[in-house]
Structures are given as structure tokens and as C-alpha cells.
Structure 1
Amino acid sequence: MTGAGNKDLETTASPRSVVRKETSSSEKKVSSNKGMSSSSVVKKDGSTRDLSSGLLGSQKMTSQVGNLLGSYCSVKLNHENYLLWKNLVLPMIRGNRMEGYITGAKKCPPEFIITYLEQEADETLEENLEYEDWIVHDQILLGWLYNSMEPDVAFEVIGNETSKDLWESINTLFGLKTKSNIAYYKREFQKLQKRGMKMFDYLKAAKKLADNLALVGRPMPLEDLVSQVLDGLDSVEYNPLVCQINEREEISWIDLQAKLLSYEKRLEQINVGLSSINLGQVSANYVGTKNNGGQAGQNRS
């Protein structure tokens, strides 16, 4: 409440707490049965002042919650996509200005407000509209988060009563698993070799491991990805191309794929040509041997 002589003596804002507000004796409380809101006061000059200043903000917030309800996360949280899910739901929550509910920055206001007149010692206990709004918005967000999960994940974090508690439970549940996934993907990447794989499949496997590392919060720098891919190639066949690429300061992933796929195709053409030459030599040798054998038989006869 604002105005000369007014004081706000607020207790700690927690659920079901009480805020005590002093109202100067120059203002009288107007009861709701006289056609005015219980949150309005009348001054000596007959003018009124609305004490429910948060009502308009509450209506705006309700509209934002409605917008959130109309937005559904296209990816349901499971045991393999935590960071992807988190990167999808957070912008939606932030876009509706509701991040404070899950971080705890927007604390639950007191449930009741005590208003009294300084000189008349007349106290009234009122319900705090902001408390009711906070509960409604938090519960809507809580339900929305549960609906963005696969059933098996939701069962593991069931029982949370606020969106903040649920958010913390999710982070705890997937925190340790994320660390183990990082170690696993790094080991798999270090073991990756092309060997008999087609180049397309080899590059696809390498990129998938790099993407998985990014999803668990450990994105691989491009230069490390390029280096790891080149190290997994056959040193004899691909050494000329590897040396050429290493001489460059940097190369994009798209350029690297194009060069490796083109080089593989060229190697296949060369191998086909060599096979044809070898097959021709074998055929010629066979024919020559057969002819020589026939001539030798004729000479003996």
C-alpha cells in the first residue's frame, strides 16, 4: 500500500504465512456488501483507491499460462534424451515468463494479509489473491511438465507437489546418468575405425557419437572431430588425403565429408580398373598356356 503515513510490515513470504499491513486512520475500509471490492479503501475526501494492484498482473499471467498450455513439447522425456528435452522445454517456459517457478526465484507469497487501522486497532484477515494465483500457475506448470514425459520417467519422479521440486528431481535423476554417458561416448569414439565400413556409414557413426556427446553437455570441438575421423582411416589408402587435409588450417564438416566420399569413389574406380587388368592378365596367361600346351602335343605327335 502506498501513501503518506502508511507502512508495510511484511513477514517472510512462504506458503500460508501472513503479511501485516498498516492503514492510516485517514482511510476507512469499505466492505464488499456496499458494492465495492474488499480490497478497496475510501479516503476522507470520498475518493477510493484499489488495493488489489496485482489483479491486472494476475490476469496477464493467467493468459501466459494459457499460452503455455496450448504449446506441447514435441519430444517426450525418456532415459536417452534428457538434454534435448531440456533444451526444448526451457525456451517455452522462459517465453511464458514462468522460469521463476522452477528456479525458486518466484517464491510463493503469503496466504493471508492482516490489515488494521493505526488508531482504531481494527484488524481484518484477508485472503491474498496473489497466493491463489501463484498456486494455480505453479500447479498448471507442474502438470505441463509431467505431461511432457514418457510414463516410465514420470513414475520415477511422481509425488512432487511444486514445479520447482519436480524440476530438481528431474535434474538429480538424470545428472549421474549424464556423466556415465559422457564417459561411454568418449570411449566409443576413441575405438571407432573405418576398416571395412563404407565411408558414408563411417562418417554417420562418427557424427552420431559427436551429436550424443553434445546432447549430454560435452560438445566435441570440430577440430577434434576431424582429427578423430582421420585417425580412424586406413593409413595406406588414405594417407595422401589425410596429409593434404592436415596441411589446411581448418576444414568444415561438410567439406570433410565431400572430400572423403569423393576419395573413396576414386579408390573404388582404381580398384575396379586394377581388377580388370589383373583379370585380363590371368585370362591371357590361361589362353597362352592352353595354346602352348596344344602346340606341344602336336609336336609330340
Structure 2
Amino acid sequence: MGETSSSSMMPSSSPNLAHQLHVKLTSSNYLLWKTQFMPMIFACGLNQHIDGTTQIPTQFLDDTNTKSNPAYIVWLCEDQIVLSWIVASVSESILPQLVEATTAHAAWDKLVATYASGSRPYIRELKSQLHTLRHDNVSIESYVLKAKGIADKLATPAKIHQ
């Protein structure tokens, strides 16, 4: 029986989900961004690339590093697809934080550590938004809703966001 080629195990095409992400991650909308991003990852069956529940297959099948592991090639392809979705779904100001992330899990961990509720930069950002909030030309209802939204984000436990 012939050897299975790794190309037959590769995903034939990956959905381009970037156009479905109407909200790009900024320093102040992590929960909203995560709410739209996670269902897409789960629907594609690729959540293990961000939650770390699957061990990365070995790159080679033997100790001589001459025979590539088809499972690794599939994992790498899927992981790079998820990484590309993450990169495509963040604002330009967030992108520099992901430059050195070579896996989807590494990129995800950086975003969670920086923007999930409970992280110091996130809390500082929210406090700054609350401190600089102005009534200006918006209705009092809009002003109060915005203030309440910021206060609610400050009060939300970190584990909900991770």
C-alpha cells in the first residue's frame, strides 16, 4: 500500500473569516472582539490552536530528521490559518504586539495577557477612559451608558474574559 501524501491531509481551502469580523480588536474592546472571534474558531474546529488543549505533533517521524510528520504539516497549516485570522482581526495599533508570535496560541496568549479584564494595561486604559469621559454633545443617556459600560468592564472578573 502506498504512502499517504501529506498534501492529501492538508485542508483543501480555508474559509476567509476576516470579512466576518466587523469589530477589530483595539485597546478597549477585547470582550466584544472575543465574542465575535470565538464562535468562528469553534465552528471551524480549530479552537485547540488557541486554547492549547492539543499537543503539537513532532515535526519528523524519525531521529534523522529526514521524514516529515504529516500530522505536523496539517497542524502547522491549521495553526497558521488561525494565526492569520487573529492578525487580520486586530487593529493596526495592536499588530506590533503580535510581530514575534509564531503560533496562534502565542498570539492569543499575548492578547489575553494584555487586554483581558484583570490585566494592568487594560485596567489602566479603562480608568483613563472613565477619567477623560466628557458629556460634550451627546445626550445624558448616551453619556451614562458609556460610563456604565466602562464601569461594568472594570467590575467583570478576569476569568470570564480568558
TM-score by length of 1: 0.42
Between the aligned residues of both structures, percent identity stands at: 21
Q: Pick the aligned partner of 1:177 from 116, 121, 126.
A: 121
Q: What amino acid is aligned across from residue 54 of structure 2 in structure 1?
A: K
Distance (Å, rounded) in 2 between the aligned partners of 1:156 and 1:207: 31
Please say if residues 185 and 213 of structure 1, whose CA atoms lie closer than 8 Å, have aligned partners that are also in contact. Answer: no
Which residue in 2 is equivalent to 1:110? 58
In the other structure, the counterpart of 1:293 is: none
For the 8 Å contact 1:76–1:85, the answer to whether it is kept is yes
1:70 to partner: Cα distance? 4.0
1:37 aligned residue: 2
Aligned residue in 2 for 1:79: 27
Does the aligned pair in 2 maintain the 1:84–1:215 contact within 8 Å?
no
Residue number among 60, 80, 87 corresponding to 1:146 in the alignment:
87
Q: CA deviation at 1:100?
A: 0.7
Aligned equivalent of 2:78, options 105, 124, 137:
137
CA contact (8 A) 2:114 2:122 kept: no
2:41 aligned partner: 93
Question: What is the root-mean-square deviation of aligned Cα atoms in Å?
Answer: 3.4
Whole-Å separation in 2 of the counterparts to 1:159 and 1:37: 39
Q: Distance in 1 between matches of 2:154 and 2:14?
A: 31
What displacement does 1:81 show?
A: 1.7
Letter in 1 for 2:89: S
The answer for the alignment partner of 2:149 in structure 1 is 211
SS of the equivalent of 1:142 reads helix
- Seen in structure 2, the aligned counterparts of structure 1 residues 87 and 160 have a Cα distance that, compared at 3 Å, is same
CA distance in 1, matches of 2:142, 2:106: 39
Alignment correspondent of 2:104: 163
Contact 2:57/2:71 (CA < 8 Å) preserved in 1? yes
The residue type paired with residue 38 of structure 1 is: E
Residues 139-194 of structure 1 deviation map (CA, whole Å, 9 limit, x = unaligned) = 111122111112221013311111111111112222222223455577789xx9x9
* More strand by percentage: 1
Query: CA–CA distance in 2 between the matches of 1:216 and 1:128?
Result: 46
- Tell me which amino acid in the other structure corresponds to 1:177: P
8 Å CA contact 2:57, 2:72 repeated in 1: yes
Change in Cα spacing, 1:155 to 1:202, as seen in structure 2 (3 Å) is same
Which amino acid letter does the alignment assign opposite residue 104 of structure 1? G
Alpha carbons 2:58, 2:69 under 8 Å: kept: yes
Q: Is the 8 A contact 2:18 2:85 kept in 1?
A: no
Aligned counterparts of 1:182 and 1:209: Cα–Cα separation in 2 = 10
Counterpart Cα distance in 2 of 1:70 and 1:182: 29
**Within 2, Cα distance between the matches of 1:178 and 1:152?**
14
Aligned residue-pair number: 149
Which consecutive residues of structure 2, in runs of 5 or more, have no partner in the other structure? 158-162
**Contact 2:23-2:89 within 8 A present in 1 as well:** yes
Q: Find the residue that maps to 2:78 and give its secondary structure.
A: helix
Within the candidate set 66, 76, 80, 2:14 is matched to 66
